[in-house]
Amino acid sequence: MLESLIENLPGMVYYSSNDCNLNMNFVSDNFYSLTGYQPEELIQNQIIYNQLIYPEDRKYLGQERQKALVNNQPFQLIYRIITAKKELKWVWEQGKGVYCSNGELLAIKGLIIDITAQKQVESKLTKQNLALQKAEVALITANQQLQKVARIDGLTGIANRRSFDEYLEKEWRRLTRTKSPLSLILCDVDYFKYYNDYYGHLAGDDCLRKIAQTIKQTVKRSADLVARYGGEEFAIILPNTSDKNAEKLVELIRTAIHKLHINHSASRVSKYVTMSMGVASVIPTKADSQQSLIAKADQALYHAKEKGRDRIVFFNQDCSQGTQTYLENNLSYAKSQENISQSFLLALS
C-alpha cells in the first residue's frame, strides 16, 4: 500500500543520511525518470546525488538545508540538476529531518519534483514581460518626443506658436496669483519678403535660423521663452519682468541682430538684416487676458514699422488705438487653437 502510494507521487521520494554528499538510503523508482540513472546506482554509491546538482547551486543548497535542519524546520528548495543525458532540469525539493528523542538528527526524508516545464513557462513569461516593458518604455519615449516635437518649430529649433500660446496662458494665470509683472516682445524681420525674393528661400530659411538662435542665446533666463510666432515674426515671453528690465533686454537683442551683419541689399533701412520690435508690460489680472498683452505688443510693433522700422517701440497710450480690434479679430483664432490642441492630445492618448 505504502509502496504503491510512493510510486504514484509526482516525483521522487528519498531517505538520506545527513552528510555533504547526501548519500541516499532509499529512493523511489521515479528517480530514473527524473535523472536518467537507476535507483540502484545511487544506493550503491556509484553516483552521488550531490554531484548531480548544478555546481553553482550546491553551496547555496547546503547552507539553506542545514539552516532548516538545525532549527528542526522543514525546508523547500528550488535548484538545477544535471541528468545522465547531460540535460539541465529544474527541481523542487521539500524535506525535513528525522530526529531521535534527544534531538539528534538521524536522517533526512523528502520529495523531489521535476518543475522544468513550469520554469520554462516562467522564463517565457518573464521574457514576454521584459519585452512588454521595453515596448512600454519605447512608447512613452516616443510620446514624449512627439510632445516635444509638437512644441518645437521645425525650421528654427525654438518653441513654436502652440508652445507660445500654452506658456503665455500658464504664466498669465501664475502671475495673476502672485501679482507680478509679465512682459512680451514681438519682433519682425524688416523687409523679409524682399530678402526672400532677392536671395532665395533657402537663404531666407538660414537667416531665420540665425536670428532665432541669436535671440535664444541673448535671452538667458530659463523661465523666458523664445518662440517663432509666425513667418518672420518672433516672440519672447518674459515672466517676472518689468518694463525697465524688458527695455534692457530688447536693446541687447537688437544689438545682437545688428552684429550678425547678415547682408540685406533689398532692405530700405539698412544694408544688413534688421528687426522692428514691439514691447508691452503688464501685471496680469483676472479681469484681463493674455490676448490683451499680445494686442499691446502687436500695436507697439505696428508703430515701430510705421515709424521707419529697425527700431523698438514700447506700448503706451499712443499705441492703444486698434487694440480692441486686434482682440476681436484674434478671438476666433484662440478658439481654433484650443480645439486643435485638444484633438492632438486625444490622438496621443
Specify if 122 maps to a domain.
Answer: no
Burial (CB count within 10 angstroms: exposed 0-12, middle 13-18, buried 19+), residue 71: exposed
Q: Which pLDDT belongs to residue 330? A: 52
Looking at mean pLDDT, say which of 19-28, 40-49, 203-212 comes out highest: 203-212
Q: Does residue 317 sit within a domain?
A: yes
Q: Of 85, 114, 143, which closes a domain?
A: 114
pTM score over 0.85: no
CATH classification of the domain holding 261: 3.30.70.270
Q: What is the pLDDT of residue 238?
A: 98
Q: Same domain for 38 and 159? A: no
Q: Which of the residues 232, 233, 306, 328 is marked catalytic? A: 232
Instruction: State whether 285 and 159 are in the same domain.
Output: yes
Domain extent for 180: 153-348
pLDDT of 343 above 50? yes
Pairing of strands 312-314, 275-282: parallel
* 334 shares a domain with 222: yes
Q: Closest Cα partner for 95 from 167, 166, 12?
A: 12
Instruction: With respect to residue 25, please indicate whether it lies within any of the assigned structural domains.
Output: yes
Q: In this structure, are 253 and 334 located in the same domain?
A: yes
239-295 confidence digits (pLDDT tens): 999 999 999 999 999 999 999 999 999 999 999 999 999 999 999 999 999 999 999
Q: Are residues 235 and 306 in the same domain?
A: yes
Backbone angles phi, psi at 143, to 5 degrees: -65, -40
Query: What domain count does the chain have?
Result: 2
The reply to whether 58 and 191 lie within a common domain is: no
Statement to judge: residues 104 and 192 lie in one domain: no
CATH number at residue 100: 3.30.450.20
- Decide if 232 is catalytic: yes
Q: Is residue 179 part of a domain?
A: yes
